[in-house]
Structure 1
Amino acid sequence: MNKYKPVGKIGEGTFSDVLKTQSLRDGNYYACKQMKQHFESIEQVNSLREIQALRRLNPHPNILMLHEVVFDRKSGCLALICELMDMNIYELIRGRRKPLPEKKIMNYMYQLCKSLDHMHRNGIFHRDVKPENILIKEDTLKLGDFGSCRSVYSKQPYTEYISTRWYRAPECLLTDGYYSYKMDMWSSGCVFYEITSFHPLFPGSNELDQISKIHDILGTPAKKTLNKFKQSRAMSFDFPFKKGTGLSPHVPNISPKSLSLMYAMIEYDPDQRIGAHQALQHPYFRELRTAEKQAVTMHRKMRLAENIVGQESINLWCISKDGNRQHSHRKTQQNPIRHHGPSYAIELPKLNVSGVTKLTSYPSPTFHSVFTTPATNGEVPVLQPIKYIGTNHKSEKQKELKSSMKQYHLPTIERRGGGY
């Protein structure tokens, strides 16, 4: 931890303390989660579910970013260096009197469902979704604290007393650890209600009171639903009948679409409860989905325009390069390169070619001088076009020589292995 300077304490939990720290390398501020447990080896550190989950889920715009894992072998101390957010949802609504704008609530819930959808698709469920673990920075929401997470594919039963009681799903309360990733959606529904009303939905004082608070709102579930849960050793299923008040009296100003999604999230039967991916398709989020699609389309158009501009720049460069080449060629024709050397005629040595039949000599054609003026000042004189003066008629000896040549035909090359 000598790379970071502690600035202040942000929060304290059962298993860790969270500090605000400053990096001595780049000067940026980070959240440092110091574990109270001591570790013996780096293998033990890497086996932590929280570290494994963050490495699998990062990067994602709605999952807290893990920057570095700091482990001191001598002391056994472990710290997770994460990005620093402004506050959590609980701090946002604590002591607040004026309700949050519905668009802000919608934006937060949309991002929360996105984080859960990303988690569940990657085979992880959180098991402790609550306002304290949902972090915000301006208009961005990120889910944090993955210390209680589990694999979707791990074998049941799980730990019974998981999650904070007020956000614990019925299947967690009524079974001996037989629950699934749908518990995260129940907790999200409780958070949805709380950021709308500033009050917890089911503030039970103990396990039995928690079930009673749920039945006060939703009513006693049907026996068919209760029979799905495995009989718990801790409590009896002989609940007195309650009709339930419903959510509307407690949040009278909520829109019908948000009320519909809230009910879908706190469905008593986990098999009927909405999933994160389904929640993102709910009519409540239609406006955000449309805006998101438009933003994606605009981004694609901008990238396409950049590619077109880039291609045009390449084409203009090629045209310019060809123009320069043509200009250079014309300049060369107008001003031919002058070679320094003797201006008088040089007789080339005769070649002795062996193995060639000596042919009868023919009268050489007459050539006119190719120079307009003789060279006097050491410069190469201007050339005139050469005119060939001779006969186009072939001699009898040439005809006889051509007819005496034999014609040969090459054998056809066979195709092997699909080629030649």
Structure 2
Amino acid sequence: MKNYKAIGKIGEGTFSEVLKVQSLRDGNSYACKQMKQHFESIEQVNNLREIQALRRLNPHPNILTLHEVVFDRKSGSLALICELMDMNIYELIRGRRYPLSEQRVMHYMYQLCKSLDHMHRNGIFHRDVKPENILIKQDVLKLGDFGSCRSVYSKQPYTEYISTRWYRAPECLLTDGFYSYKMDLWSAGCVFYEITSLQPLFPGANELDQISKIHDVIGTPAEKTLTKFKQSRAMSFDFPFKKGSGIPLLTASLSPQCLSLLHAMVAYDPDERISAHQALQHPSFQEQRAAERQALANHRRACFSECPVGPDLSTDWQTARESRKQHPRLRAEEERARRPGPAFVVELPKLKLAGVAKLPSFSSPTLQPVFVPGKVAVLRRPFKCVGAGQKTDTQKDLKPDLKQCRLPTIERKGGGP
């Protein structure tokens, strides 16, 4: 950590504390997550789920950026240098008298669903989605704190009490660790309600009170759903029938489409609960999808404008053609160019060469005709195909007049042949 200067403490959790630090190399500020656990080797550090998840998920506009991993072998301390954000969702709504506008709420929820979709597509689910772990900077939302994440393909059962109680899905409460990535959507639905109403949806005091709070709002689930939960629970349970009051009237400011998305996120049965990918296609996000397409189109247009583009040759050619039609002289030249033959008869100039002698003239020898009219020429000797290493009869009869001479051998200095 000699390259960083501590500025102040941001927060503290069970397994780590977060500091605001300044880099001595570039002068920028970062968030330093200092782990309380001590590590023995670099292999143990690389096997940490949070580091593996951040490396797999980065870069993404809605996932917290990991800049550097700092590990001290001597002391065994580990620190994650991450992007510094302005605040989290809890700090945004804490002490607020009036709720956020629906447009701003849906702007945040669209980004949260994008982060969950990207994470689930890469085989990871978070298991601790809550307002404190959802960070904001200049209206850009990023999901952070992947210390509790797990692989989608890992074998069940998982740890039971992993997520914060208020945002824990029913399958996490009623089973012995038999849950899936759909629990993240339940937590996101609880965050959705809390951003809108500025109050938690299910603020249970303990495990039983948490289930009771859920049943007070949603109602007792169907027997089919309870049977699925009982199959993976060592202890049996039976709940009195409750109709449920429905989502409280604190969300009366939301449109029916947004309320339908909220109900789909907090569906009791995880098999009937909406996925992050399906949530992104929900009609309530129609405005956000249109704005995203427009931003992408503007980005592409800006990229093309930076590239030099040649002139429109078709337009220039058409303009030049129209101007030639209006000029009589150019039109006459074009007509002559289209006629066969040369446009003008020009006599080439004669070359004047001084001091050149006149060449004498010689008569060419008369060539005898090979074929006499009226007679058929007969070839007395047929053609033979001669190979590269063979000689014809004529070549065999010819004897060279020159004597064969052998050149003396030149000896190389240094003893070479």
TM-score (normalised: structure 2): 0.76
Please say if residues 127 and 149 of structure 1, whose CA atoms lie closer than 8 Å, have aligned partners that are also in contact. Answer: yes
Tell me, in whole angstroms, the C-alpha distance in 1 between the residues paired with 2:136 and 2:161: 27
Take 1:77 and 1:108, find their aligned partners in 2: how far apart are those partners?
Answer: 35
SS of the aligned residue for 1:141 comes to: strand
Quote the Cα distance in structure 2 between the aligned partners of 1:398 and 1:30. Answer: 103
Classify 1:234/1:372 alpha carbon distance in 2 versus 1 (closer, same or farther; 3 Å): same
Query: Matched residue of 2:229: which SS?
Result: coil
* One-letter code aligned to 1:396: T
CA distance in 1, matches of 2:281, 2:91: 29
Q: Which residue number corresponds to residue 197 of structure 2?
A: 197
Contact 1:49-1:149 within 8 A present in 2 as well: yes
User: Which ranges in structure 1 are unaligned for 5 or more consecutive residues?
Assistant: 314-368, 375-383, 412-420
- The residue aligned with 1:352 is none
* Cα distance change of structure 1 residues 387 and 66 upon mapping to structure 2, 3 Å threshold: farther
The 3-state SS of whatever aligns with 2:60 is coil
Q: Counterparts of 1:228-267 in structure 2 under 5 Å?
A: 228-231=228-231, 236-267=236-267
Aligned equivalent of 2:296: 296
Residues 253/407 of structure 1: CA separation in 2 closer, same or farther (3 Å cut): farther
Contact 2:230 2:236 survives alignment (8 Å): no
Cα deviation code 1:272-324 (max 9, x no counterpart)? 000000000000100111121222233334434544x34569xxxxxxxxxxx
Map 1:277-288; keep pairs closer than 5 Å.
Answer: 277-288=277-288
Residue 107 (str. 1) matches residue 102 (str. 2)? no
The whole-number CA distance in structure 2 between the counterparts of 1:388 and 1:185 is 104
Query: Helix, strand or coil for the counterpart of 2:79?
Result: strand
Shift of 1:396: 1.8
In structure 1, what residue type is equivalent to 2:117? D
Structure 1 residue 174: Cα displacement: 0.2
AA matched with 2:201: L
Alignment of 1:151 onto 2:147: no
Pair 1:279–1:269, CA change in 2 (3 A): same
Taking only the aligned residue pairs, the percentage that are identical comes to 74
**1:198, 1:235 → 2: CA distance?**
36
Question: CA–CA distance in 2 between the matches of 1:398 and 1:79?
Answer: 105
Give the Cα separation in 2 of the matches to 1:408 and 1:291: 85
Structure 2 residue matching 1:250: 3-state secondary structure? helix
Residues 111-190 of structure 1 aligned to structure 2 (within 5 Å): 111-190=111-190
User: 1:345 aligns to what?
Assistant: none
Residues 367-418 of structure 1, C-alpha deviation per residue, up to 9 Å, x if partnerless? xx975457xxxxxxxxx9x999979x96424978xxx9x999999xxxxxxx
Give the match's secondary structure for 1:199.
Answer: coil
One-letter identity of the residue aligned with 1:113: C
Cα distance between partner residues in 2 of 1:301 and 1:210:
51
In the TM superposition, residue 138 of structure 1 has moved relative to its aligned partner by 1.2
Structure 2 counterpart of 1:208: 208
Corresponding residue for 1:396?
Answer: 366
Secondary structure of 2:274's partner? coil
Task: Measure how far apart 1:237 and its partner are.
Answer: 2.4
Structure 1 residue 254: Cα displacement: 1.4
Residues 278-287 or 226-235, more deviating: 226-235
- Residue in 2 aligned with 1:64? 64
After superposition, the Cα gap between the structure-2 partners of 1:371 and 1:275, relative to the gap in structure 1 and judged at 3 Å, is same
Change in Cα spacing, 1:2 to 1:397, as seen in structure 2 (3 Å) is same
User: Is 2:47 aligned against 1:47?
Assistant: yes
Q: Distance in 1 between the 2:231 and 2:54 partners?
A: 35
Q: TM-score, normalised by structure 1?
A: 0.75
Do the aligned partners of 1:173 and 1:211 also contact (CA within 8 Å) in 2?
Answer: yes
- Match of 1:31, SS state, is strand
Distance 1:18 1:304 in 2: 42
Residue 268 of structure 2 corresponds to 268
| Cα distance in 2 for residues equivalent to 1:394 and 1:297 | 82
Partner residue in 1 for 2:221:
221
Aligned to 2:18: 18
Q: Distance in 1 between matches of 2:368 and 2:138?
A: 97
Structure 1 residue 220: Cα displacement: 0.5
**Corresponding residue number in structure 1 for 2:335:** none
Which amino acid is the alignment partner of residue 8 of structure 1?
G
Q: Aligned partner of 1:296: which letter?
A: L
Tell me if the contact between 1:31 and 1:83 (Cα under 8 Å) persists in the aligned partners. yes
In structure 2, the gaps of 5 or more residues are 313-349, 371-378, 388-417
SS state at 2:39 partner: coil
> RMSD value over aligned CA atoms?
2.9
Query: 2 CA distance for matches of 1:387 and 1:291?
Result: 90
Structure 2 letter corresponding to 1:152: V
Matched residue count: 341
Give distance in 2, aligned partners of 1:89 and 1:127.
17
1:107 is displaced (CA, Å) by: 0.7
Take 2:368 and 2:39, find their aligned partners in 1: how far apart are those partners?
102
Give, in whole Å, the separation in 2 of the partners of 1:18 and 1:394.
108
With over 3 angstroms needed to count, the CA separation of the structure-2 counterparts of 1:226 and 1:398, relative to structure 1, is farther
Alignment of 1:22-41 (within 5 A): 22-41=22-41
Inter-CA distance 115–371: structure 2 relative to 1 (3 Å threshold): same
SS for the counterpart of 1:228 is: helix
